[in-house]
């Protein structure tokens, strides 16, 4: 059983730490490079969503990212105390738009739902909880 936690500030510079966190998990679980890159993409999208939208500008706040795996499934829980925001309700972006012209976060949930097996959102005790699960093919 693997469990890791990362505490982040809601600043865009923290995405480098998210990447490092994913890399450590990928190493520990022996994930292939493609999956590691996909997970990076997913977490970057979801964390940047929180950084951009959850808090009023200038407010510094914590974001928690927990990762757990039993070897068969890898699950991430992203938690913040920002305003209620359910990314799973956002319309999927138009995949025909040139990615370079798309805003960060615009493609987000479309990519995320394609990569992950399960994406669920809860608002609990004033927190946003986003759970993302990926089955691991051994």
**Mind listing the pLDDT tens digit for each residue in 57-71?**
889 999 999 999 999
Query: Quick one: what percent of the chain has pLDDT higher than 70?
Result: 86
DSSP character at residue 85: -
| Gyration radius from the chain CA atoms | 14
Q: Residues 16-40: what's their mean pLDDT? A: 96
Q: Examine the pLDDT at 131 and tell me if it is beyond 90.
A: yes
To the nearest whole number, what is the mean pLDDT of the chain? Answer: 89
Sign of the C-alpha dihedral, residues 52, 54, 59, 64?
negative
Q: Examine the pLDDT at 52 and tell me if it is beyond 90.
A: no
Q: Report how far Cα 73 is from the mean position of its chain's Cα atoms.
A: 16
Tokens in use for 5? 């936690």
Tokens in use for 90? 């956002």
Helix locations, the chain, DSSP H: 15-29, 33-53, 108-115
Do residues 76 and 136 touch, judged by C-beta distance below 8 A?
no
pLDDT digits (tens, 9 = 90+) for 78-118: 999 999 988 888 755 555 655 555 455 456 778 888 999 99
Candidates 108, 98, 94; CA nearest to 51 is: 108
Do residues 6 and 22 touch, judged by C-beta distance below 8 A?
no
Q: Examine the pLDDT at 44 and tell me if it is beyond 70.
A: yes
pTM: 0.86
Report in angstroms the alpha-carbon separations of 14 from 9, 10, 65, 105. 7, 7, 12, 16
Residues β-bridged to residue 25 = none
């Amino acid at each position: 059983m693997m469990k890791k936690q990362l505490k982040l500030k809601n600043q865009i510079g923290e995405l480098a730490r998210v990447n490092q966190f994913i890399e450590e998990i990928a190493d520990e679980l022996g994930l292939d490079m493609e999956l590691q890159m996909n997970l990076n993409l997913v977490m970057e999208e979801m964390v940047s969503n929180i950084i951009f939208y959850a808090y009023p500008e200038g407010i510094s706040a914590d974001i928690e990212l927990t990762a757990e795996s039993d070897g068969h499934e890898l699950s991430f829980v992203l938690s913040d105390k920002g305003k209620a925001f359910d990314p799973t309700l956002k319309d999927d972006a138009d995949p025909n738009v040139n990615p370079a012209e798309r805003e960060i976060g615009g493609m987000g949930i479309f990519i995320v739902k394609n990569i992950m097996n399960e994406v669920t959102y809860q608002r609990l005790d004033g927190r946003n909880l986003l759970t993302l699960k990926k089955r691991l093919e051994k």
